[in-house]
């Protein structure tokens, strides 16, 4: 996991939907306790890490020809780390992202000047969000700026390449240990939830372990795995935290049914068009031990309310 490039690579791949987690849960508290025994007691200087981070994110972004605005980067980082709502509208982000991609295609050798700071802010926001989710302490912003400025001006860095690499790798190892501990704690809670949920009236369990509940039964055809479907949906963790919702975005989505998580591929084939089901998806039919981004931790069972609107069969 390259922490200093994670957010920018996500952004450039077009992942434009962002949301923030809420307060610390009992699972996170338990994960912290496990991590204390699982993580080596190696002290990592946040001053050195912040400087290395600043230096590396500037040089890393040069590969993409994106010239970040440092102040907007740090503003976004602060909001993401604090789990505040993102201070950039999706329309602004899409427009600036489109401008960047056009620039890359037509003038790829020139730096893209992020004058409005939109991409810089969102990059920082995603970094802050990921750092917070991975239990990484807050960056020293002055040191981040020092690292960026030294790289930008071609100065001799305070930490050489080997020292920066060691600091970054140590932080990666620490974050991964915490993430693994959290995944185990989440998996335990999810297993307990599913065991209890399977006993509830109206909940059916398939051979794979997928659980579902019929909210409304439609009368249309059922899709095949090779079909494209249009759905409305909302997804939450077992503690009720919502991580995604097409309803809130104001429009349904369409996708090939064999291109999503296993729980969706199996579950939607049970649904006639016009139906609305609630799925309770074990982690091995979801995102597994790795999770997805900073909103879905590894090992998490997922709950989806899904409304099947239409089927577009494969031609």
Catalytic residues: 233, 243-244, 261, 287, 304
pLDDT tens, 169-183?
A: 888 888 888 877 877
Beta strands in the chain (DSSP E): 66-67, 112-113, 203-205, 211-216, 228-237, 242-245, 253-256, 276-281, 302-312
Helix 141-153 / helix 46-62 crossing angle, nearest 10 deg: 40
Closest among 44, 60, 74 to 12, alpha carbons compared: 60
Tokens of 135: 């239990």
- Judge whether residue 4 has pLDDT over 50: no
How is the chain split into domains, by residue range? 3-181, 198-312
Which tens digits make up the pLDDT trace of 276-285?
999 999 999 9
Distance CA(68)–CA(82), nearest Å, equals 21
Find residue 310's DSSP bridge partners. 230
Mean pLDDT of 237-256: 92
Measure the CA dihedral 166/172/177/183, to 10°: -170
CA 83 to chain centre: 13
Exposure pattern of 201-216 as b/e (b: 16+ CB <10 Å)?
eeeeeeeebbbbbeee
Residue 42 in contact with residue 31, Cβ under 8 Å? no
pLDDT tens figures, 11-62? 443 333 333 333 333 334 433 443 443 444 446 789 999 999 999 888 877 6
Q: Which CATH number fits domain 198-312: 3.10.50.40, 3.40.640.10, 1.20.1050.10, 3.20.20.80?
A: 3.10.50.40
* Mean pLDDT, residues 106-120 taken together: 85
Secondary structure of residue 198 in the 3-state scheme = coil
In angstroms, how far apart are the furthest CA atoms of the chain? 70
Mean pLDDT of 104-119: 84
Res 67: pLDDT: 83
Q: What is the pLDDT of residue 43?
A: 67
pLDDT reported for residue 315:
52
As a whole number, the mean pLDDT across the chain is: 83
């Amino acid at each position: 996991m390259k922490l200093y490039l994670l957010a920018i690579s996500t952004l450039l791949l077009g992942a434009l939907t962002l949301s923030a987690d809420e307060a610390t849960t009992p699972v996170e508290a338990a994960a912290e306790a496990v991590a204390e025994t699982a993580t080596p007691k190696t002290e990592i200087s946040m001053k050195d890490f912040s400087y290395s981070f600043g230096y590396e994110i500037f040089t890393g972004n040069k590969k993409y020809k994106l010239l970040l605005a440092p102040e907007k980067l740090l503003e976004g980082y602060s909001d993401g780390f604090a789990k505040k709502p993102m201070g950039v509208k999706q329309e602004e982000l899409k427009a600036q992202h489109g401008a960047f991609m056009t620039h890359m295609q037509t003038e790829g050798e020139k730096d893209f000047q992020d004058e409005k700071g939109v991409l810089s802010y969102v990059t920082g926001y995603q970094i802050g969000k990921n750092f917070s989710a991975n239990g990484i302490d807050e960056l020293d912003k002055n040191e981040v700026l020092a690292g960026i400025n030294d790289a930008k001006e071609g100065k001799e860095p305070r930490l050489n390449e080997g020292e920066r690499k060691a600091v970054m790798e140590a932080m990666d190892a620490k974050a991964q240990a915490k993430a693994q501990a959290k995944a185990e704690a989440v998996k335990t809670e999810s297993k307990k939830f599913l065991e209890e949920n399977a006993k509830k009236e109206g909940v059916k369990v398939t051979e794979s372990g997928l659980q579902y509940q019929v909210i409304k039964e439609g009368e249309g055809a059922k899709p095949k795995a090779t079909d494209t479907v249009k759905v409305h949906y909302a997804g939450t963790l077992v503690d009720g935290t919502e991580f995604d919702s097409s309803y809130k975005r104001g429009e349904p989505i369409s996708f090939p049914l064999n291109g999503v998580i296993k729980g969706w591929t199996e579950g939607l084939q049970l649904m006639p068009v016009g139906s609305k089901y609630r799925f309770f998806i074990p982690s091995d039919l979801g995102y597994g031990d790795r999770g997805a981004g900073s909103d879905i931790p590894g090992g998490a069972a997922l709950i989806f309310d899904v409304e099947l609107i239409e089927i577009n069969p494969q031609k």
